[in-house]
Amino acid sequence: KYVLEWYLCRYEHSGAWKALMSRISEPKMVVSDGGSGFAKALKKTWPNAKHQRCIFHVFNQVKRYTTSKPKTAAGTELYVLAKDLFHLKAEEEKEKWVSRFIEWIKKYNKFLSQLTYDEDGNSRPTHERLLKAQRAINKLLKEGTMFTYLDEELRREIDKIPSTNNQIEGGINSRLREMLRTHRGLSVERRIKAAFWWCYMHTLE
């Protein structure tokens, strides 16, 4: 609901995240969009905080590889699986989803293993984009960051656990971007000052 802290940086990296996070008391849980360097900074700065990857960003990552109108059965089924992430409300539902994902991998293993050869005989995966989507989900499942919001112990401590960071994206970041678009004629220095004052006026004291 409020800006707790903010940090100005040229690039998004672990050092910038650490500089921001070190100013805030360690929370029970944090939701992130998978920004560059965030996970590394989290381990060092808030080692006891549990991490939830934003489900909306996970879905968008899969959609980027499959598109919203997949041309293959494998792509269509994976896209449906990604959309179903928004409807999981309990641990049992999560387990069923993971089982469906594993079945998808088994079902299309041969299809995903297909190779395409160029005129020089060099090979590459025919369905490389689907493989990237699969690996992205595998990585999150291995990290244990995709279903933190369903953690029973955490749910006993926190009333409503968010599965996305849409609240800050829609409530804070979008308004900040809108302000900068409205004043896009400003110099870089003045845009920075405008962002400074906007954050200052919306920071929880």
User: Cβ(52)–Cβ(30) under 8 Å?
Assistant: yes
State phi, psi for 165 to the nearest 5 degrees: -105, 25
Which of the 8 DSSP states describes residue 3?
Answer: B
User: Cβ(3)–Cβ(202) under 8 Å?
Assistant: yes
User: Cβ(82)–Cβ(100) under 8 Å?
Assistant: no
Q: CA angle, 189 as apex, 188 and 193 as ends, to 5°? A: 115
Please tell me the distance from the alpha carbon of residue 115 to that of residue 56, in angstroms, as a whole number: 31
Give CA 87 to chain center in angstroms.
Answer: 17
Who wins on pLDDT, 102 or 199? Answer: 102
Please tell me the distance from the alpha carbon of residue 73 to that of residue 23, in angstroms, as a whole number: 48
Per-residue pLDDT tens digits for 13-49: 999 999 999 999 999 999 998 777 999 999 999 999 9
User: What residues have CB less than 8 Å from 16, skipping those under 6 apart?
Assistant: 7, 9, 37
Per-residue pLDDT for 205 more than 70?
A: no
Who wins on pLDDT, 169 or 54? Answer: 54
Per-residue pLDDT for 184 more than 80?
A: yes
Residue in the structure block whose two tokens are 């060099």: 122
Residue 145 burial (CB count, 10 A): 20
Determine the pLDDT at residue 5: 86
Local confidence band at 2 (pLDDT 50, 70, 90 cut-offs): confident
Residue in the structure block whose two tokens are 């004052």: 197
Per-residue pLDDT for 158 more than 70?
A: yes
Per-residue pLDDT tens digits for 51-101: 999 999 999 999 999 999 999 999 999 999 999 999 999 999 999 999 999
Per-residue pLDDT for 204 more than 80?
A: no
Q: Which amino acid is at 200?
A: Y
